[in-house]
Chain A
Amino acid sequence: MTVPTSTDVDAAGEAVRGEELERLRAEVAVWRARYAAGELRDIAFVNSDGPVDPVFTALDASPDVATLGLPGTFPFTRGIHPTGYRGRLWTMRQFAGFGSAADTNARYKFLLERGQTGLSVAFDFPTLMGYDSDHPRAAGEVGKCGVAISSLADMERLFEGIPLGDVSTSMTINGPAIILFAFYVAAAERQGVPAARLRGTIQNDILKEYMAQHAWVFPVEPALRLVVDCFEWAAEHAPKWNTISISGYHIREAGSTAPQELAFTLANAFAYVEHGLARGLAVDTFAPQLSFFWDVHNDFFEEVAKMRAARRIWARHLRERYGARDPRSWMMRFHCQTAGVTLTAQQPLNNIARVAYQAMAAAFGGAQSLHTNSMDETLALPTETAVEVALRTQQILAYETGVANVADPLGGSYYVEALTDRLEAGAEAQFVEIARAGGVVRAIETGWFQRRIAEAAARHQWDLEQRRRITVGVNAFTTEDAGTTIPTLLVSESTAAEQTARLSALRSARDGARADAALGALTAAARSDRNIFPALLDAARAECTLFEIRSAMEVVFGTYREPIFF
């Protein structure tokens, strides 16, 4: 008797599997005939991208252990932590900001008292575009959709009584990201907290701004230089800080499909990696500080599969294409936000249910951090009650439903594995298309992405109006009086006036010569090929305002102009 070799065993296994698949194929053929004869409801069976097959079997997915792996092992399809959520739960991080720094500071304390575990700053539009609150272009928008932060003093007030060494803070800021980061580092300094202890994230993802969200300041090339300056400075001085949050969220909210969100975002990510490498940074010095941000939309399984595919693509490209050796470079860590665009103004209480399902998809997808939208966000900024319900939704999910017990609970599902594979293959095909369009930067300049996103948005709207897609309370199950039935937040109209007064007081009280010198040095640094961050930090310490700093850089960099639209 001979001992069977592993090859024999494999061959025997193959044969058995081959027989099983044959049998399955025959069964599927029978089923298909029965399906074709069955009566279907008159509605489109689609996900964000198009029609969905009615059933999935082993023929569609090959949950091959080699590619699937386990939680915490390459390529991380099943999650980045071996312990899943048993070790560390996702961070509950509600995006918040309105009115003045003091108004928002009070909201943060409210949220922290109720068990929120991280902060997330929403800035107002003037801040997002690099304007001070007293700039003429800021008229009407100061403190409206976020908090107004025009200086280091505002940043200090925003975190008054909140120890920056202990909290993790996410800041949604892109065009002037590096300026606000300098304010934050300087504010921490004044609390006696060194940059090395800071934990948190600046979004800093300028490429998707050009594609989708449009809060830009500088043209593409200098903007990318600033992003890489952040990578470089933080790698040395703030190693716990996420220097970027590469975001699919805004691409999706602008109308893209899930496969587009996945592919465009990762294409952006690779562009950042390549810019870092071009600076001469070793990939493992900055890649571990790159983080991601996904939208969690309505199609439950598609969303879970999207996050799984994203982790796998990132791991493979980082290891195989960019030669990263540090496993932390391979691991995609990401924040999720439930899809704002799915909320309805009609029957607003329904939004609580939508958000809960979306939050569950984020948990199944293995998110590190989650924002759940408040029910009233199509009407106004959230009230305390609404934001508390949204936070409680996460807590119920985490502590009552059992989803946090098992890592990647949908792993091995024919449907989810097949979707994951298809999304990955689709993204790889898109990367080729993008390269053919000249790469990310060129494709932005020619409007390649923008056109595709706008087309997808128009198609979606058309589907809704044709009732191919259903939105409960909007184009189905409507009621007569579906308007606002919940109280909404009124943001104080006095913020702009207060901010204007504070800014003029600040300008007269500060050491003007020091501020001017700092701005001059900043312009010089912008002109040089040195890392600009130290000069920014000095300008922040010298009480220069956001717009002053922006302007000092703008004289060198210029301003971005939207090149094209449809």
Chain B
Amino acid sequence: MPRPIRVLVAKPGLDGHDRGAKVVAAALRDAGMEVIYTGLHQTPEMIATAAVQEDVDVVGLSILSGAHMTLFPRVRELLHVAGRDDILLTGGGIIPQSDMEALQRTGVGRLFGPGTSTGDLVRYIREWFAERQPQDA
């Protein structure tokens, strides 16, 4: 039996708007994933620590505060230091297209803007997981 995909859903920074993060967490759970929800106001260190301890496949960050150019790279870097470059770092929020592209060039996965269907997100994670699973221990 295939194991469930494990996803950490986090709200980094001081922005408390968690409607999107909660909707996404519920949708991923309903899609059969194990979702670790860390709550609000997480620092990049808290997120990376949780991702490592929970041995997740995916980290999803919801950022509406404009701090994405600081927070995504910082989490990516901390995951790298922990030896977890294999984790898919994805997310969404209010992120201009040009910033999305710049982040993707640094190894961040696809980022989703307002109006995204949760189905798209589920598909994206499943496809990514199916592709990498052979190397999964």
Tally chain A residues at the interface, Cβ within 8 Å: 45
Q: Which of A55-63, A133-141, A437-445, A525-533 contacts B (4 or more CB under 8 A)?
A: A133-141
| Residues in chain B near residue A128, CB distance under 8 A | 14
Per-residue interface assignment for chain B, residues 70 to 109, with 1 indicating a CB less than 8 Å from any chain A CB and 0 otherwise: 1100000000000000000000001011000000000000
Complex: A491 Cα to B16 Cα, angstroms: 20
CB atoms of B118 and A461 under 8 A apart: yes
Would you call A454 an interface residue if the criterion is a C-beta within 8 Å of the partner chain's C-beta atoms? yes
CB atoms of B114 and A465 under 8 A apart: no
Would you call B17 an interface residue if the criterion is a C-beta within 8 Å of the partner chain's C-beta atoms? yes
Choice from A144, A255, A483 contacting B66 with Cβ under 8 Å? A144
Would you call B129 an interface residue if the criterion is a C-beta within 8 Å of the partner chain's C-beta atoms? no
Complex: A129 Cα to B41 Cα, angstroms: 10
Per-residue interface assignment for chain A, residues 522 to 566, with 1 indicating a CB less than 8 Å from any chain B CB and 0 otherwise: 000000000000000000000000000000000000000010011
Which bracket fits the contact residues of B?
20 to 34
Per-residue interface assignment for chain B, residues 105 to 129, with 1 indicating a CB less than 8 Å from any chain A CB and 0 otherwise: 0000000011101110000000000
CB distance from B36 to the nearest CB of A (A): 12
Would you call A452 an interface residue if the criterion is a C-beta within 8 Å of the partner chain's C-beta atoms? no
| Residues in chain B near residue A566, CB distance under 8 A | 22, 25-26, 37
| Residues in chain A near residue B17, CB distance under 8 A | 213-214, 253-254
| Residues in chain A near residue B65, CB distance under 8 A | 125, 140-141, 144-145
CB atoms of A345 and B115 under 8 A apart: yes
Per-residue interface assignment for chain A, residues 246 to 267, with 1 indicating a CB less than 8 Å from any chain B CB and 0 otherwise: 0000000111000000000000
Would you call A131 an interface residue if the criterion is a C-beta within 8 Å of the partner chain's C-beta atoms? yes
| Residues in chain A near residue B43, CB distance under 8 A | 137
CB atoms of B96 and A488 under 8 A apart: yes
CB atoms of B117 and A465 under 8 A apart: yes
| Residues in chain A near residue B115, CB distance under 8 A | 344-346, 378, 471, 474
Smallest Cβ-Cβ distance to A496: which chain B residue? B70
CB atoms of B118 and A126 under 8 A apart: no
Would you call B19 an interface residue if the criterion is a C-beta within 8 Å of the partner chain's C-beta atoms? yes
Complex: A141 Cα to B70 Cα, angstroms: 9
| Residues in chain A near residue B68, CB distance under 8 A | 140
Smallest Cβ-Cβ distance to A381: which chain B residue? B66
| Residues in chain A near residue B66, CB distance under 8 A | 141, 144-145, 380-381, 491
| Residues in chain B near residue A562, CB distance under 8 A | 39-40
Complex: A554 Cα to B39 Cα, angstroms: 21
| Residues in chain A near residue B71, CB distance under 8 A | 140
CB distance from A118 to the nearest CB of B (A): 25
CB atoms of A255 and B19 under 8 A apart: yes
| Residues in chain A near residue B70, CB distance under 8 A | 139-141
Shortest Cβ-Cβ A-B pairs, 6 listed: A214-B16, A140-B70, A140-B67, A144-B66, A125-B14, A345-B114
Question: Which A residues are closer than 8 A to B by beta carbons?
Answer: 125-126, 128-129, 131, 137-141, 144-145, 209, 213-216, 253-255, 341, 343-346, 378-381, 454, 457-458, 461, 464-465, 471, 474-475, 483-484, 488, 491, 562, 565-566
User: Told that A139-B70, A140-B67, A145-B65 touch, could you supply 10 new A-B pairs with CB distance under 8 A?
Assistant: A129-B41, A137-B43, A140-B68, A141-B13, A141-B67, A253-B19, A254-B17, A454-B22, A457-B22, A465-B117
User: 6 A–B contact pairs at CB < 8 A?
Assistant: A214-B40, A254-B17, A254-B18, A341-B19, A380-B96, A484-B97
